[in-house]
Amino acid sequence: MRTIGKNRGLARLADAEGHFRMVALDQRPPLFDAIAQAKGITRDKVEYADVTAAKRLLVEALAPHCSSMLFDPNFAVPAAIDLLPARCGLIMTLEEHRVEETPGGRKSRAITDWSVEKIRAIGGDAVKVLAWYRPDADPAVNEHQKRFVRSVGEDCAHHDIPYVLELLVYPFLGSANHTADYVESPGKLPRLVIDSVREFAKPEYGVDLLKLESPLAANSLPPRDGSAASKAAQKEFDAIGDICRQRNIPWVLLSGGAAPEKFERVLDFAYAAGAGGFLAGRTIWLDAVRSHFPDRAAVAASLRKDGVGVLERLNTLTKAKAKAWTARFPGFSEIRQEGDFARAY
């Protein structure tokens, strides 16, 4: 019986047809950088009020056009929880954006004073965790990441709330293309993405929805036109789809800041492999902030025109091609008299 809450939560994330059309607003460093660039200052000079103001503009413009939104507790909630429409699902991030960098890989942790229990208490519909992961990282680092992901899964099961796990491959400390933030590597290896999915799709982690990056760099992805290159690319997406299908886990794509037309191409391949939607952020709203902040009226106008335009194109593609999710509630054959359900749950 302890899956009713998870199914109800996933239903809140999707639209009425079962498609996940979700906007990410939990970004912290990428938004800090966009504001800093717009104001001509360094990241450390960005003020808290600027971040909350920007997030409020994003929610106001985009919330009417998506099925759910991803918030962080320290900026997005105080900035705009009052603007989130009642019919729009609320996903809450749990992980701290400041990771521990070691020569052998990255270690994740939860935001200080934040928990699955608190996310459920404020009315969150799902818990999201970003786990930086590379199968070829130091074994001790990977064990730390697995324990972290598993412990959150146990808490989500206890509170019967959906668990959304985001997986990202990253460059090692000291490598030529190292960055603390997520910037898609043009030379990333598909097997690192696929093997990461294979690991965390295991039942022991308790994941209910996977938020995944493209196994191939968006900028180098060919058109899905039946060519040899297209067929080879489709195999990489199909490998992910096969894993998720076998484990009965729905999956969506993150945008990674790709240009809108490039992300649409990623979705075309992913939807052919069985993906159920998107959870995208920077591709939709970054340019409006970076180009116009702190002119709030200009940011809002840009979001209404260009941001909503991108989002609606993603919505149209998703409704046409994505795999619809369907809730799977438990059977009630053993519930035969008053009190049976309350006792079973």
The pLDDT tens digits of the residues spanning 277-299 come to 999 999 999 999 999 999 999 99
d(CA 275, CA 238): 10
Alpha helices in the chain (DSSP H): 4-13, 29-39, 48-62, 76-80, 116-121, 139-159, 190-200, 228-247, 260-272, 282-292, 296-302, 308-321, 340-344
Asked if residue 256 has pLDDT above 70, the reply is: yes
Q: What pLDDT sits at residue 183?
A: 60
Q: Which residue has the higher pLDDT, 1 or 146?
A: 146
- Rounded to 10°, the helix 308-321/260-272 angle is 10
SS3 42: coil
- pLDDT for position 175: 64
How much is the pLDDT for 104? 94
Q: Are strands 100-102 and 105-107 parallel, antiparallel or unpaired?
A: antiparallel
> What distances in angstroms separate CA 216 from CA 17, 186, 272, 282, one per listed residue?
29, 8, 15, 18
Q: Which amino acid is at 94?
A: L
Which residues are bridge partners to 132 per DSSP? 168
d(CA 316, CA 9): 23
Gyration radius (Cα) of the chain, Å: 20
Q: Which of 154-163, 185-194, 234-243, 248-257 has the lowest mean pLDDT?
A: 185-194
CB within 8 Å of 79: residues ≥ 6 apart: 51, 52, 53, 55, 56, 59
Handedness of CA 208, 8, 158, 22 (dihedral sign): positive
pLDDT of residue 173: 80
Amino acid making up residue 93: T
- Predicted local distance difference test score (pLDDT) of residue 180: 59
Q: 3-state DSSP: the chain helix, strand, coil percent, rounded to 5?
A: 50, 15, 40
pLDDT at residue 181, rounded to an integer: 61
pLDDT tens digits, one per residue of 21-41: 999 999 999 999 999 999 999
Structure tokens that stand for 135 in this block: 């199968």
pLDDT tens, 210-232? Answer: 999 999 999 999 999 999 999 99
pLDDT tens-place string over residues 144-195? 999 999 999 999 999 999 999 999 999 888 666 656 565 666 566 899 999 9
For the chain, the residue count is 345
The DSSP bridge partners found for residue 90 are 69
Q: What is the mean pLDDT of the chain?
A: 95
Strand 209-212 vs strand 105-107: parallel, antiparallel, or unpaired? unpaired
Would you state the pLDDT for residue 315?
A: 98
User: In the chain, what is the greatest distance between 2 CA atoms, to the nearest angstrom?
Assistant: 67
Q: What percent of the chain clears pLDDT 90, i.e. is strictly above it?
A: 92
The percent of residues above 70 in pLDDT, for the chain, comes to 96
